[in-house]
Chains A and B, each alone.
Chain A
Amino acid sequence: DIQMTQSPSAMSASVGDRVTITCRASQGISNYLAWFQQKPGKVPKRLIYAASSLQSGVPSRFSGSGSGTEFTLTISSLQPEDFATYYCLQHNSYPHTFGGGTKVEIK
């Protein structure tokens, strides 16, 4: 099974900060990587698919990069509505696996 190691597990940041979240796959997954944002009590929302493609309607401050085993989600300028938990998901092979999540909190 492919393990997805997501870091950090939690972080405090201020509005306007640049935020970077990383997922590392235990083996290569090409670009079969998606990023999700989830707010408490809400359904996960896809932000990025195919590692770097921005979901329609998602603000351009969100970006994804990487291929193979190292992937990054970047928020270029954190906004108040971005405080949430973020997850990566590999769907290159079964079983599909999520990273453990990154909770982004207000500093």
Chain B
Amino acid sequence: EVQLVESGGDLVQPGGSLRLSCAASGFNFRLNAMSWLRQAPGKGLEWVSTITHSGGDTYYADYVKGRFTISRDNSKNMLYLQMNSLRAEDTAVYFCAKGRRYGAAVPDAFDIWGQGTMVTVSS
């Protein structure tokens, strides 16, 4: 079964840091790009960041650029999001999602999402 399981969400003070993890199973992790997305309470979905299959390229939304860092460990089938200088507006459920397979001809991405992990930034 293809599965993504996030962990690491917590209550953190403004200016604090947190590291989210996403454990992947059931597919060839090293061949797929991976992404983080989020949803603030009562709001719509937002894309946060994407990392290519090899980890060689990373992309960020402007609202997290310079504060968040996406990374992956293909030997462990793990995706990470290091979140620094957290702000109240970062409060959201954070999802990891499976991206496009390297070399795929069809834009087939975001088919599998984890259950999400809650990050609350508050004093």
Contact = CB atoms under 8 A, between A and B. Distances in A.
Contacts, number: 59
Contact of A32 (B50, B62, B107): B107
Interface range, A side: 20 to 34
Interface string A34-46: 1010100001101
Classify the interface of chain B: helix, strand, loop or mixed: loop
Contacts of B50: 94, 96
B95 interface: yes
A43 B114 contact: yes
Classify the interface of chain A: helix, strand, loop or mixed: loop
Given A89-B47, A101-B44, A95 B110 contact: no
Contact of B95 (A33, A34, A43, A87): A43
A44 B47 contact: no
Interface of A: 30-34, 36, 38, 43-44, 46, 49-50, 53, 55, 87, 89, 91-92, 94-98, 100-101
